[in-house]
Every structure is written in C-alpha cells, then in structure tokens.
A and B are shown apart, each in its own frame.
Chain A
C-alpha cells in the first residue's frame, strides 16, 4: 500500500509539472505571436504591454511573468522570426542553372521582404543601445550573405577572394529589405516587376561561372 502510494505520486508529479510547463510555453508562444502581429501592424512603433496582453488574451501580469520587460519579449520575437525565415527557406535556390537559381533566390528573398519588412524596420529603428538586438541584426545579415555565397557559388568561385567579398557586399546592399521597400512603395513596382529588376541587376553583377562561360 505504502509502496503503491509512493509509486503513484512519483508517476503523477512529472506529468503535472510537464503539463504546467507546456501551458507556460504555449502562453509564451502566444504572447510572442501577439507581439509580432502588433509590431507588424504598428511598425515602427513598439507595441505596449497592455496592447500585447489584450491581443494575446492574457493579463499584463502574465506577460511580465514570462518576459521581464518588453525588450526581452522583443528579443524572443526576433529569434522566433529568424528561426521561421531559416525553416521556411526554399531549397530550390541551390539547384539548377544560373537563371533558375537567380529566379528562385530573388523570389525567396522578395517573399521574406514582403513578410518581415515591418518587423525589420521596427527592429532597426528601435535597436537603441541593445547589444542583443544589434547582434541579431548582424547575424541576420551574415546568414543572408552566407546563403548568397552558397546559391551563387559557381559564379563566385570564378573570381578572387577579394572580388568575391566585394560582390557579396554589393549583392547584400542591393537586395536589402529597404531596397525592396523602395521598389514597392516609392517606385510603386508590382511584385513581379520588382523581382525582375533584382534578377537583372544580380545577373549583371555576377561574373560568368567557369561552367556557363
């Protein structure tokens, strides 16, 4: 009897804790999603705790139980967004001839720009002196450049190390999120025309690969 009681407790406790932990994680995730939805709508203004709590369906206290301050929530949301970008990146960018890779890379980048521009803008404007946010901006840029380097490896392999570095810096600048925003908002180009503008420009920038020459 005693033994069975002990055994019952030891089985139930972890379950109860796991259930609580799962609910807490779910709440955390819902708060992050609420923040992202509001940051997207209000960009570049950072939403207030009250607005986030209301959107998530929790109290302000619940928000601050999971995140010590709005900056911590902002960082968690940026991490989540960056993981989404990485997870949803299409693999087609790495396959096919130069034209196929150009098309796939530009379309994938354009979709990232369309989806994440408001959050990116808010991040850039509100980074302030935050080392954590600055670090994430740097990592996002480095990841994008690393991707460019892999997608256009056949072309970049045909030039010297210095020229490769210069080309990557130029490619990154030309296909920045704000460059996309200007094409769409300032020059009022439709999505497809903006993609064509980038494809033509990247095609001119890149050297011929040794195989396509």
Chain B
C-alpha cells in the first residue's frame, strides 16, 4: 500500500507538471499568433480566448503580461537560434552568402512581428532591453562565423566597420521595407542582401 502510493504520487505530479508546461506553451503560442495577425499588442482576454483557457489560467502561469512577453521572447530566441544552427557555414563564399542571407530572411519573415512588439514594449524593462541586446549580439556572432575567412583577413577597425555595416543592412526593419515598401519577393530581397554583403566584404583570402 505504502509502496503503491509512493509509486503513483510522482507520476501524478509529473502529469500535472507536464500539463502545466503545455498550458504555458499554448499561451505563449497564442500570444505569438495574435502578434502575427495584428500589430496591436494582444490583451489578456484575446490571449486567453486564442489559447482556449480562462484569463485566470493565463495569470496563474504569468503574473502579468510583461512576464508573458519576456517568456515569449525567450521562446522565440531559442527557436530562431535553432533555425540558424540548422544552417552552419559551408562551402565557397557564394554558398556561405546564400546560406546566411536565406536563413536570416526566414528568421525575419517569421519573427518580425515579435521583434516590433519587443521594441515597442521595451519601455524601461531591463529584461526586454537585455533580450534586444542579446538578439543583436547573436546576429553579429553569426556574421563572424559565416564570414570568418574574409573578416580575419582585415584589421580590427576595418572588421568592426564591416560588421556594423552588414548588421545595419540585415536588420529586421530593412527586411520589412524590402518586402512591404519596395514590393520585393523573398528571393529578390535575398538577392539584394547577397549582392550588398558581397560588396561590403573584403576579398576571400584563399578558396575558403
């Protein structure tokens, strides 16, 4: 009897914990879906409706909407990092340019609404500001990895200038303007970035 009880209790707790984690994730997914549908910041009621839970359930998992925003940002950053990690640097300069730009383009397509919400809501939030800074650092690290042969062939000042220029070029809002304001297709927008980065980078030292 004692044994039976000690066997079932952890299973029950695990089941509850799993359900709670799943509910939390569904609330985050609902928040992200709503952001993609409209630039307006979703309300607690809209999030609860979309997730299929009560407003109370939302606030049981997240004490306020700010905490939910931070959790959604963390989720998005880990997803985007996975997307990027699936496409490591490979091949010639042209191949690396294509891999880098197409992956970045897909990240921009998918996460632009969240990026906009993040920037609009950062206010005085140290947590959101920190995540914006971290996202930019990840973009720069990716640049350094993708174009290591070219960037290590130049001095530190020129390297920093090149990185700054490429980072500005491949910003989320730059992608958004190409797609929305200039009416470029995904492939046309990628071509613009590929050509521009190719011009900004120094020559490849050997056939890396």
Question: Cβ of B165 and Cβ of A173 under 8 Å apart?
Answer: no
* Cβ contacts A155-195/B at 8 Å (1 or 0 each): 00000000100110110111110110011001101000000
- How many B residues face the partner with a CB closer than 8 A? 29
Judged by a CB distance under 8 angstroms, whether B195 is at the interface is yes
Interface residues of B (CB under 8 A from A): 39, 119-120, 133, 136, 158, 160-162, 164-165, 167-169, 171, 173-174, 177-178, 181-182, 184, 191-193, 195-196, 199-200
Q: Which residues of A contact B (CB under 8 A)?
A: 44, 125, 128, 138, 141, 163, 166-167, 169-170, 172-176, 178-179, 182-183, 186-187, 189, 196-198, 200-201, 204-205
Is the pair B161, A197 in contact by a Cβ cutoff of 8 Å?
yes
Most buried by B among A175, A189, A205: A205
A200 to B154 Cα, complex, angstroms: 14
Instruction: Provide the residues of chain B in CB contact with A200, threshold 8 Å.
Output: 158, 161, 165
Complex Cα–Cα for A189 and B195 (A): 27
Bound Cα distance A32, B62 (Å)? 42
* Among B120, B164, B169, B196, contact of A125 (Cβ-Cβ < 8 Å): B120
Given contacts A125-B120, A201-B165, A205-B199, contact A178 B171 (CB under 8 A): yes
| In the complex, residue of chain A having the shortest beta-carbon distance to the beta carbon of B195 | A166
B164 close to A197 (CB less than 8 A): yes
For residue A204, which residues in chain B have a CB less than 8 angstroms away from its CB?
165, 199-200
Instruction: Check B168 against A141 for contact (C-beta < 8 Å).
Output: no
Q: Which residues of B contact A198 (CB under 8 A)?
A: 165
CB pair A205–B171 under 8 Å, yes or no, is no
Closest 3 CB pairs of A and B: A201-B165, A179-B168, A173-B174
Distance (Å) between the CB of A136 and the closest chain B CB? 13
- Indicate which residue in A44, A175, A187, A201 contacts B200 across the interface (CB closer than 8 Å): A201
Partner of A173, one of B136, B171, B191, B195: B171
Given contacts A166-B196, A205-B196, contact A176 B164 (CB under 8 A): no
Contact of A205 among B119, B158, B182, B200 (CB under 8 A): B200
